[in-house]
Structure 1
Amino acid sequence: MTKQYYTIGMAGHVDHGKTSLTKALTNIETDRLKEEKERAISIELGYAPLKIDENTQVSIIDVPGHERFIRQMIAGVAGIDLVILVVAADEGVMPQTVEHLQILQLLGIHRGLIVVTKMDLVEEDMKELIEADIFEKITDTFFEGTELLFVDSVSKKGIPELIRKMEEYLKDVPVRNASGPFRLPIDQVFTVHGQGTVVRGTVYEGEVKEGEVLELLPQQKKVRARQLQVHNETQSLGRAGQRLAINVGGIAKNEVKRGDVLVSTQYYTSTKTIDVCLDTFESLKFSLKQRNAIKLHLGTAEVYGKIVFFDRNELTAGRHVLCQLRLDQPVVTRRGDRFILRRPTPVETVGGGFVIDPNGEKYKFGERTIALLSRKKEGTPEERIIDVLKVNKSMTLQELEKEASVPATELQEIVTKHPHSPFRKLQNQYMLKDVYDECIHMLTIELNDYHNKFPLREGKNKAELMQQFNVYGSSVIEAVIEEGIVTNVFKKNKQFIATYDFSPSFPKQWERRMNQVILAMEKEGLQVSPFTDLVNNAGIPLELQEELRHFLLRTSKVIELDEKHILSKTAFEAAVQKVKENIADKFDLQTAKSVLNISRKYLVPLLEAFDEQKVTKREGNERVFLDNK
């Protein structure tokens, strides 16, 4: 069974026991900072692993509850699958509890549990009052109808029941998409002595392999994932839903910050102008005026900017308001991403919503623009097809019809007859041209790296390539490789794939010494020295010695006598010719020795090589020529 990875967030008012509850569940103290321990409140996000069973791994995020740390709270809950709303039994629902609840609602989180902590501090008959208070506050939210669980983190009362309930809820949570493009919004950056820069975050979607080249946005800088860790355990693969730390090569710590994003694809956009659909809090204290300053929380990013309306000059409260955010700094987003909007001063959470278009333009004030944004919000059929293919990489027409909700006739028209179609057909699958170009580009980079590292090899094994790029799907990669061969981008020799213009050859820095080995073999003739002696005398490094041996054998420049000796093709052919000239038909070992005048040590493997090369055929103690020409 495939392992499943989830992230659970702890939300609620300050000092309501989120950190203690996390410790009771995982036995891990998430308050790490000195000031957190001194003040007994969480300032930064805390993380702890919880193993539900062999196939279910959970990362628990302990979110700061204090109003001054709302930024960290938003960064923490933006990537969660299930939320636990924590309410202290001795205080009940507090203002910060309500604000966290509103933020969770606006971030599109649909599943949660309500846990009442510190149950040992209240009498049994108070529980009904606590429940009534909580149920009143969660009316018309996704928590409505959920159960309340009473626990005490110190005595561990109710903890086993909570774990069972979490397991039950997680069974209904869809597993995050690991087949889509990789995206990891960064919420922590630090250095490890001897390792360099490390970034950490929750993988929103896709997967990443150790050694893979990623792009850091919005800097547009290539980095390599040198090492991956999940809760301090080294992994070769990181995937959606996991809390992942990546040791990134090629960048210094001061070049990365919280809010940056690691991606594996060009789909993600760095932008400063975003068209959005905004829902505001009904309890909004201050109106929001045209071009007011705002603070955007998107993923783990926090960016200042201004809000632009097209159908009003002031907003007091409202749902599904179509507007635009113009930001001071670029953020990384795509259509459908959720966000929270706050006012810098006076400080207030305004509301939240989702991104309609990450690449907004300048529009005129008026109903035409609102109509345009409304169409964008719903999405054109082509946009829906593109969105589906961004996630699934390639699909048949039947699969696209179902997933994109586009009628078959209209779908056929869009993907096949569009004059500037962004789609490409490979075999019976459709994919985005950008994905095809990206696959070709990534395969070419990988093959060029491989050729530089192993210039004596024919190319990289096709099965290895398909495994390495299986994030695109095996059928996609195979189709792209075959198409690349047809279009002379790649070439294939048996199971090996190479770039079209590549030919195996000696690396320039070792070319003279490798030719020296060949000359030495030709000079020594039939009684050649062991191959290891020849390459060591030429000063060829150990890691290249076997590479050279296989290259010489594969290109038929030499003949293998035994494990230690290989013979130059020139010397072998000269020996064949000499035997044929001096022996009419059959010959035995002694006869061959008299002709070639070499010791038995070399003669026996040489005659066996005659047989292997189809020069002779053994008949008892004698050999006959297969071709006397």
Structure 2
Amino acid sequence: MWVIATAGHVDHGKSTLVRALTGMEPDRWAEERRRGMTIDLGFAWTRLPSGATVAFVDVPGHERFVPNMLAGVGPVPAAMLVVAADEGWKPQSAEHLAALDALGVPHALLVVSRADLADPEPATRQALAQLAKTSAGDVEAVAVSAVTGAGLDELRAALDRLGAALPRPELDAPVRLWVDRSFTIRGSGTVVTGTLGAGRLAAETDLELNGAAVHVRGLQSLGEPVSTVDAVARVAVNLRGVERSAVARGDALVSPGRFVFTDLVDVRVHGEPVAGLPASVVLHIGSAAVPARVRPLGTDTARLRLDRALPLHAGDRALLRDPGLHRVPGGVTVLDVAPPELRRRGAAAARALELSTMDGRPDVAGELRRRRLVHAGELARMGIPAPGAGWLLDPGYEAELRTRLASEVRRYAEAHPVDPDPPVDAIRRRLDLPDRALVERLLTPPLTIHNGRIGAGQRLPERLRRAIDAVRAGLAEAPFVAPESDRLAALGLGPKELGAAAKAGLLLRVADGIVLLPGAVEAAVERLAALPQPFTLSEARQALGTTRRVAVPLLELLHRRGATRRLPDGRHTTDAGA
């Protein structure tokens, strides 16, 4: 399906032309028919000679209904500009063309209507000259009369050529369906309609509406129920459990987690200089019309503060309208949907310089350079497909973080000589990183992570090493005679120092204040296994040549490790199967 919007001055025959092409009535409301003018959006469709279907979004031409016109033009990829042969170029012809140009619509067809009332050549030349100055450029022109039928076959053929020139839609793109109508059908509930510009819609799937999850109950396209709809297409979506009052024109149904809902954007303005823009404008995108405050940043860049958040991507095209003077001062390209705050002196000037290098096209390297650290999922929500998943780091920032990490580890070791290996989370906080996985990614030899701490290979302080060596020497003579607490205190070995020695693998911490050599478990099992099984605590103490103070916690350690077992009668055994 191809979707094309009409455009042109009031009463130049847009709706009459659509009616002649489709046999359908685009003016839906009795008031529109009574007054002979389109007030709101109309929709109709027909099959072309090629077999392709073209759907028309018929927009109002009257100056008072330009916002309704923009709601219809915004989401579509092509336009049919209608100019009456007997009246020629008119004010709304110019405003509609300015809107198409501001939105960057590159595909258009000129139709000179009412060719039975006047020579179409003057109006054709005048309109083509105006079109040539815009994004549409040189376009095909067809003169028709909806009354006599002259030129309608040529118009159908021209529409076929226009449709064939349209770019192929991105079916794997996220869905963003701007709502242009919403209503209730008895027995079905709330239904919304819109133009699907990209992606694929399917029934019985979930979407987001104003940040909340909604379920697609059913779909219709061209009046028929369907299970899926591929872009570009007109579509009606039946939503389950959504009140009619909860959705309106300008809302959007979007793929979950694929858009940033933002009320602050940095944009490039195409048209009038930014300095000449009014302080307040209306931003038109899709079917949405949202008041916005303008903060100029550069000669052609500005920051817009929207009255409500919209689902936007970098690269989106929109237009600005001055509602007070009823004019379109320009279009905008969205450059950044998550811009930084501008609080420091000189921040605005620096931001203007930065924006001057951006064009709204996906640029992963540029985003990483500007943001330094960002999650791939967040980039995707901004409309910037990123390679891989997880956290992405700018290479320069990553090198800086590695240097800082090594420095922070050294600082921690200097401040904690007895326990020099810092917890991973301590370093993560010092580097202001959102995820400990980033700390692991930044580690380079000799730094490693063990038991939640970063091992930097630091040697224990010499004083501590000498004290530990004295303990080890005593244990070498009597392996199970743990030094008494006063001996440890005399050597300056408190709980923290003994913990550092155990962590370094120099001592085995059996219990608080009781340390042995690292091989004490294996040596104890060997001695106890030589005893008649089972054995008592007293027999174990005598075999190990130690005191009850050491034997009790040592046996408990052996039990925990599965080297020995305690029997119901209180005796012990090294026989695991006894």
Contact preservation (8 Å) 2:9, 2:91: yes
Matched, 1:277 2:239: no
Q: Residues 229, 147 of structure 1: CA spacing in aligned structure 2 closer, same or farther, 3 A cutoff?
A: same
Contact preservation (8 Å) 1:13, 1:96: yes
Contact preservation (8 Å) 1:179, 1:392: no
Contact preservation (8 Å) 2:333, 2:360: no
Q: Deviation string for 1:183-205 (max 9, x for gaps)?
A: 11111110001111001100121
Q: Residues 143, 296 of structure 1: CA spacing in aligned structure 2 closer, same or farther, 3 A cutoff?
A: closer
Matched, 1:208 2:201: yes
| 1:119 equivalent in structure 2 | 115
Structure 1 distance, partners of 2:99, 2:272, is: 9
| 1:451 equivalent in structure 2 | none
SS of 2:98's partner is helix
What is the aligned counterpart of 2:143 among 150, 154, 163?
Answer: 150
Matched, 1:167 2:152: no
Q: Deviation string for 1:230-258 (max 9, x for gaps)?
A: 12110000221110000100210001111
Structure 1 distance, partners of 2:42, 2:339, is: 35
Contact preservation (8 Å) 1:187, 1:201: yes
- Tell me the amino acid that sits aligned with residue 282 of structure 2: K
What is the aligned counterpart of 1:78 among 74, 77, 82?
Answer: 74
Q: Residues 413, 362 of structure 1: CA spacing in aligned structure 2 closer, same or farther, 3 A cutoff?
A: closer
Matched, 1:306 2:293: yes
Contact preservation (8 Å) 1:180, 1:391: no
- Tell me the amino acid that sits aligned with residue 145 of structure 1: D
Q: Residues 417, 56 of structure 1: CA spacing in aligned structure 2 closer, same or farther, 3 A cutoff?
A: farther
Q: CA deviation at 1:143?
A: 4.2
Structure 2 distance, partners of 1:327, 1:105, is: 22
Structure 2 distance, partners of 1:325, 1:109, is: 22
Q: Residues 90, 392 of structure 1: CA spacing in aligned structure 2 closer, same or farther, 3 A cutoff?
A: same
SS of 1:134's partner is helix
- Tell me the amino acid that sits aligned with residue 140 of structure 2: E
Q: Deviation string for 1:97-127 (max 9, x for gaps)?
A: 01111111111111111000011111xxx33
Contact preservation (8 Å) 1:338, 1:353: yes
Identity fraction in percent: 33
SS of 1:377's partner is coil
Q: Residues 254, 47 of structure 1: CA spacing in aligned structure 2 closer, same or farther, 3 A cutoff?
A: same
Matched, 1:222 2:213: yes
Matched, 1:288 2:277: yes
Q: Deviation string for 1:536-584 (max 9, x for gaps)?
A: xxxxxxxxxxxxxxxxxxxxxxxxxxxxxxxxxxxxxxxxxxxxxxxxx
Contact preservation (8 Å) 1:293, 1:344: no
Which consecutive unaligned segments of at least 5 residues does structure 2 have?
369-375, 403-578
Matched, 1:15 2:16: no
- Tell me the amino acid that sits aligned with residue 333 of structure 1: L
Structure 2 distance, partners of 1:90, 1:418, is: 70
Structure 1 distance, partners of 2:243, 2:151, is: 46
Q: Residues 301, 233 of structure 1: CA spacing in aligned structure 2 closer, same or farther, 3 A cutoff?
A: same
Query: 1:92-107 maps to which residues of 2 (within 5 A)?
Result: 92-107=88-103
Structure 2 distance, partners of 1:163, 1:184, is: 28
Contact preservation (8 Å) 1:222, 1:250: no
Structure 2 distance, partners of 1:156, 1:259, is: 37
Contact preservation (8 Å) 1:273, 1:361: no
- Tell me the amino acid that sits aligned with residue 340 of structure 1: L
What is the aligned counterpart of 1:297 among 280, 284, 306?
Answer: 284
Contact preservation (8 Å) 2:313, 2:334: yes
Q: Deviation string for 1:253-294 (max 9, x for gaps)?
A: 001111111112312111111111112259x9x9435xx111
Q: CA deviation at 1:90?
A: 0.7
| 1:522 equivalent in structure 2 | none
Contact preservation (8 Å) 1:117, 1:151: yes
Query: 1:253-268 maps to which residues of 2 (within 5 A)?
Result: 253-268=244-259
SS of 1:113's partner is strand
Q: CA deviation at 1:34?
A: 1.6
Structure 1 distance, partners of 2:258, 2:96, is: 31
| 1:505 equivalent in structure 2 | none
Structure 1 distance, partners of 2:224, 2:150, is: 30
Structure 2 distance, partners of 1:41, 1:388, is: 43
Contact preservation (8 Å) 1:294, 1:342: yes
| 1:625 equivalent in structure 2 | none
SS of 2:301's partner is strand
TM-score, normalised to structure 1's length?
0.57
SS of 2:20's partner is helix
Structure 2 distance, partners of 1:274, 1:388, is: 16
Q: CA deviation at 1:67?
A: 1.1
| 2:356 equivalent in structure 1 | 374
- Tell me the amino acid that sits aligned with residue 165 of structure 1: A
Contact preservation (8 Å) 2:250, 2:288: yes
- Tell me the amino acid that sits aligned with residue 130 of structure 2: K
Structure 2 distance, partners of 1:168, 1:227, is: 33
- Tell me the amino acid that sits aligned with residue 173 of structure 2: G
Contact preservation (8 Å) 1:310, 1:365: no
Matched, 1:244 2:244: no
Contact preservation (8 Å) 1:309, 1:365: no
Q: CA deviation at 1:165?
A: 1.2
Contact preservation (8 Å) 1:119, 1:151: yes
Contact preservation (8 Å) 2:269, 2:300: yes
| 1:25 equivalent in structure 2 | 21
Q: CA deviation at 1:310?
A: 2.4
Contact preservation (8 Å) 1:213, 1:224: yes
**Count of matched residue positions in the alignment of Structure 1 and Structure 2:** 386
Q: Residues 417, 366 of structure 1: CA spacing in aligned structure 2 closer, same or farther, 3 A cutoff?
A: closer
Q: Residues 419, 199 of structure 1: CA spacing in aligned structure 2 closer, same or farther, 3 A cutoff?
A: farther
Structure 2 distance, partners of 1:417, 1:38, is: 71
| 1:338 equivalent in structure 2 | 317
Q: Deviation string for 1:319-346 (max 9, x for gaps)?
A: x711011112112211111111112323
| 2:224 equivalent in structure 1 | 233
| 1:351 equivalent in structure 2 | 330
TM-score, normalised to structure 2's length?
0.62
Q: CA deviation at 1:210?
A: 0.9
Structure 1 distance, partners of 2:400, 2:193, is: 42
Structure 2 distance, partners of 1:143, 1:181, is: 26
- Tell me the amino acid that sits aligned with residue 181 of structure 1: P
Contact preservation (8 Å) 1:7, 1:79: no
Query: 1:463-502 maps to which residues of 2 (within 5 A)?
Result: none
Structure 2 distance, partners of 1:306, 1:393, is: 29
Structure 2 distance, partners of 1:91, 1:418, is: 67
Which consecutive unaligned segments of at least 5 residues does structure 1 have?
312-319, 397-409, 421-629
| 1:68 equivalent in structure 2 | 64
Structure 1 distance, partners of 2:401, 2:52, is: 47
Structure 2 distance, partners of 1:28, 1:195, is: 25
Contact preservation (8 Å) 2:258, 2:381: no
- Tell me the amino acid that sits aligned with residue 345 of structure 1: G
- Which range is displaced more, 61-70 or 45-54? 45-54
Structure 2 distance, partners of 1:20, 1:175, is: 30
